[in-house]
Amino acid sequence: MFNKIEVKMTKDGSHTLMSSLFDDSYHAHNGAMSESEHVYIQAGFEQLDHEFAQVNILELGFGSGMNAILTLKSALAKTGNIERPIRFISIEAYPIPLDIVAQLNYKTGFSPQLAELFDKLHQAPWGCDVEIMPGFILHKVHAKLQDFTTDINSINLVFYDAFAPSKQPELWLQDNFDRLFPVMQQGGMLVSYCANGQFKRNLKAAGFRVKAYPGALGRREMTQAWK
């Protein structure tokens, strides 16, 4: 399906993308990078149980690469090295063309190291493990969620970053969470910007323990859930 992508500025000065296929933006208009930092890093990656020797992340929607590069940024913040190995699996049905990626302004606020890593994330081939740097493996999957399979009990963090339920309703149905629950490790965590009531009921029905968490940029809530 044809998907025209346009670069748009958000209120925190970082770019987002607008999809013609879904008539929706990839991030909050109040701040693309601020939203991702809050939802997926501060409320997700940085709150994951430290007992996990390795972080196996499953992301729904590679998109602009925002969540992946912010994960790297957080992992490198203390020592400049990745202390706990990360395997980052990202499912994307509609990859963004590299000429659009080149228009994004994220690298202007990054260190030279992060700017180089951002390029590596987008240049990495699809369908295979790629070592972006020591301790960080990226595996981009060009597929839809329903076509994706992975090892049982391998995932301990899920970034559920699909378009809104009103725009992409098939990705918020009960069976998606029934499929995710078995591939997650005990104590594993799912985070999403979405606080839709039916979404939370579907998570609970799949077996997750669900908690509302303060939302980003004026949104009342987001969602955290644990196995």
Contacts of 86 (CB under 8 A, 6+ apart): 54, 55, 56, 57, 71, 75, 135, 136, 137
Q: Which of 67, 61, 19, 59 is nearest to 40 (CA)?
A: 67
- Both tokens assigned to 116: 């180089």
pLDDT tens, position by position, for the chain (227 residues)?
A: 678 999 999 999 999 999 999 999 999 999 999 999 999 999 999 999 989 999 999 999 999 999 999 999 999 998 999 999 999 999 999 999 999 999 999 999 999 999 999 999 999 999 999 999 999 999 999 999 988 887 778 999 999 999 999 999 999 999 999 999 999 999 999 999 999 999 999 999 999 999 999 999 888 999 999 99
- Both tokens assigned to 189: 């965590």
Q: How many residues does the chain have?
A: 227
How high is the pLDDT of residue 218?
A: 80
How high is the pLDDT of residue 152?
A: 73
pTM of the model: 0.96
Q: Are 159 and 198 in contact (CB under 8 A)?
A: no
How high is the pLDDT of residue 1?
A: 65
CATH topology of domain 35-226: Rossmann fold (3.40.50)
**Beta pairing, strands 221-226 & 184-192:** antiparallel
| C-alpha to C-alpha distance for 131 and 139, rounded to whole angstroms | 9
- Both tokens assigned to 104: 């994004």
How high is the pLDDT of residue 13?
A: 97
Encode 48-85: b = buried (16+ Cβ within 10 Å), e = exposed.
beeeeeebbbbbbbbbbbbbbbbbbbbbbeeeeebeee
How high is the pLDDT of residue 2?
A: 74
Backbone angles phi, psi at 196, to 5 degrees: -55, 135
Domain boundaries, the chain: 35-226
C-alpha angle 183-188-190 in degrees, rounded to nearest 5: 90
